[in-house]
Amino acid sequence: MCHQTVSLVARHLEAHGIPTVIMGCAKDIVEHCGVPRFLWSDFPLGNSAGRPFDLESQVQTLELALRVLESAPAARTTVQSPLRWNADAAWKRDYLDLTKLSPEKIAERRKEFEVVKAVAKAKREGS
């Protein structure tokens, strides 16, 4: 949801004359929405600005985003960071992997999500 939110905001700012660049990890969500400029890091969600406790990675990620900001020739410019999270790409299989969930676990997750939705609704209505 975060990637969709910033995509919608970037579009609004850009439509009103403010150039933008998104630094993010969810390529499909951002490109499906359609944004002016996007620096994509093929990292687990939560690491849009670089690897944890890795100053060089964070500096390089910001620098690439700034270059995209100043040099993108047209809308829908995506640049992929050359950095890799891990030489082994196995981590990419795990996010919301249904094959690892038993029917009992799925039922449990459903109940948990009902609770999350209720908490979020109460917070939203109270704000």
Partner 1 sequence: MTTAAPGAKAVFAVEHDTPIPYMQRTRDYYLALGFAAYRWAHFAAVPFTPLRTPLSRARVGLITTAAPYQPEVGDQGPGAPYNAAAKFYQVYSVSTESVPDVRISHVGYDRLHTSAADMNTYLPLARMKEAAAAGRIGALAPRLHGAPTNRSHRTTMETDAVELLHRSREDEIDAVVLVPS
Looking at this protein, which amino acid is placed at residue 94? D
Residues 93-112 that bind partner 1 (CB under 8 A): 93-98, 101, 106, 109-110
Residue 58, exposed/middle/buried by CB under 10 A (0-12, 13-18, 19+)? middle
Q: Is 56 in the site for partner 1 (CB under 8 A)?
A: no
Residues 57-86 that bind partner 1 (CB under 8 A): 58-59, 61-63, 65-66, 69-70, 74-76, 80, 82-85
- Cα-flanking dihedrals φ and ψ of residue 41, to 5°? -105, 125
d(CA 23, CA 47): 9
Tell me, by CB under 8 A, how many residues bind partner 1.
86
Question: Least distance in Å: CB of 115 to partner 1?
Answer: 8
Question: Least distance in Å: CB of 125 to partner 1?
Answer: 9
